[in-house]
Chains A and B, each alone.
Chain A
Amino acid sequence: GAVVSQHPSRVICKSGTSVKIECRSLDFQATTMFWYRQFPKKSLMLMATSNEGSKATYEQGVEKDKFLINHASLTLSTLTVTSAHPEDSSFYICSASLAGGPSDTQYFGPGTRLTVL
Chain B
Amino acid sequence: GQSLEQPSEVTAVEGAIVQINCTYQTSGFYGLSWYQQHDGGAPTFLSYNALDGLEETGRFSSFLSRSDSYGYLLLQELQMKDSASYFCAVGTDKLIFGTGTRLQVFP
Interface residues of A (CB under 8 A from B): 34, 41-46, 49, 91, 93, 95, 102-104, 106-111, 113
Contacts and interface: CB of A to CB of B under 8 A. Distances in A.
Given A102-B91, A103-B92, A104-B33, A43 B97 contact: yes
Contact of B30 (A45, A93, A103): A103
B31 A41 contact: no
A101 to B, nearest CB: 11
A49 B94 contact: yes
Main secondary structure of the interface of A (DSSP, over half): strand
B28 to A, nearest CB: 12
Given A42-B100, A44-B97, A46-B95, A104 B43 contact: no
Contacts of B100: 42-43
Contact of A104 (B30, B85, B87, B97): B30
Contacts of A110: 41-42
Interface string B87-107: 100011111111110100000
Interface of B: 30-31, 33, 40-45, 48, 85, 87, 91-100, 102
Contacts of B48: 104
A104 B95 contact: yes
The 10 closest A-B pairs by CB, nearest first: A104-B91, A108-B42, A103-B91, A43-B100, A44-B97, A43-B97, A110-B42, A108-B43, A43-B99, A111-B42
A44 B87 contact: yes
A106 B42 contact: no
B42 A109 contact: yes
Contacts of A91: 40
